[in-house]
Chains A and B, each alone.
Chain A
Amino acid sequence: GAVVSQHPSWVICKSGTSVKIECRSLDFQATTMFWYRQFPKQSLMLMATSNEGSKATYEQGVEKDKFLINHASLTLSTLTVTSAHPEDSSFYICSARDHLATDTQYFGPGTRLTVL
């Protein structure tokens, strides 16, 4: 089956620093990747949709200058949390849609971000 990896799995950083999270589709090409945020005991919240080679589309209420998304290739998207603050601490999950498939999204394992 389709495999999506995320790196790192877990990161702790100081307030004010920036953190980059990578999302890779390992055995398929993903023209579209999605970034989600999940708070404890809550469902996934879509933050943004990124398409290879174009600007990301952000959901309402998500600051595009705070959460920078780059989808430079068909297998890699990155999310950079700039000037992180403790309220940015969360579980960030990416998913990728196989450009040959329909709507199925394959999820990465997630990245646990803790900002001190």
Chain B
Amino acid sequence: EDKVVQSPLSLVVHEGDTVTLNCSYEVTNFRSLLWYKQEKKAPTFLFMLTSSGIEKKSGRLSSILDKKELFSILNITATQTGDSAIYLCAVASPGGYQKVTFGTGTKLQVIP
């Protein structure tokens, strides 16, 4: 059974801190890894990673994938209260319906 595990489950930091969120996976067939941010409603897309060692960056957020060790990290630098959310990691597998398996999420709370 495909599995995606995120850690930590929950995290509280002060504004300005840097955080690293972890995602490890075990899937039969890997195609890509995706990061989403979920605030009050549905998740919003952050990154899609397919190749090892290539960092994707968007503002203060960055992510990298290690396909050998089967994990990815999401970094957020100079955190702001607006970064408070649940961060979801998902792995897409090839196939007729391109199945996507989600992790349980990491709840990040940034306090002033």
Residues of A in contact with B (beta carbons under 8 Å apart): 32, 34, 42-44, 46, 49, 51, 57, 93, 95, 97, 102-110
Query: Is B32 a contact partner of A107 (Cβ separation < 8 A)?
Result: no
Query: Is A32 a contact partner of B92 (Cβ separation < 8 A)?
Result: no
Query: Is A97 a contact partner of B98 (Cβ separation < 8 A)?
Result: yes
Mark out the residues of chain B between 92 and 110 whose CB falls within 8 Å of any chain A CB in the assembled complex.
92, 97-100, 102-105
Query: Is B88 a contact partner of A102 (Cβ separation < 8 A)?
Result: no
In the complex, chain A residues whose CB is within 8 Å of the CB of B36: 107
In whole angstroms, what is the CA distance A46 to B43 when docked? 14
Instruction: Name the interface size band of chain B.
Output: 20 to 34
In whole angstroms, what is the CA distance A108 to B38 when docked? 12
Query: Is A44 a contact partner of B102 (Cβ separation < 8 A)?
Result: yes
Secondary structure dominating the interface of A? strand
Nearest-Cβ distance from residue A4 to partner chain B, whole angstroms: 8
Query: Is B32 a contact partner of A102 (Cβ separation < 8 A)?
Result: yes
Residues of B in contact with A (beta carbons under 8 Å apart): 31-32, 34, 36, 41-45, 48, 50, 88, 92, 97-100, 102-105
Query: Is B44 a contact partner of A107 (Cβ separation < 8 A)?
Result: yes
Query: Is B97 a contact partner of A51 (Cβ separation < 8 A)?
Result: yes
Query: Is B41 a contact partner of A103 (Cβ separation < 8 A)?
Result: no
In whole angstroms, what is the CA distance A107 to B43 when docked? 6
Query: Is A108 a contact partner of B42 (Cβ separation < 8 A)?
Result: yes
Q: Which of A34, A97, A104, A109 has the most CB of B within 10 A?
A: A104
Select one of A49, A103, A109 contacting B32, CB under 8 A: A103
- Evaluate whether A104 and B98 lie within 8 angstroms (CB atoms) in the complex, with A43-B88, A43-B104, A44-B88 already known: no
Nearest-Cβ distance from residue A31 to partner chain B, whole angstroms: 10
Query: Is A110 a contact partner of B97 (Cβ separation < 8 A)?
Result: no
Query: Is A43 a contact partner of B42 (Cβ separation < 8 A)?
Result: no
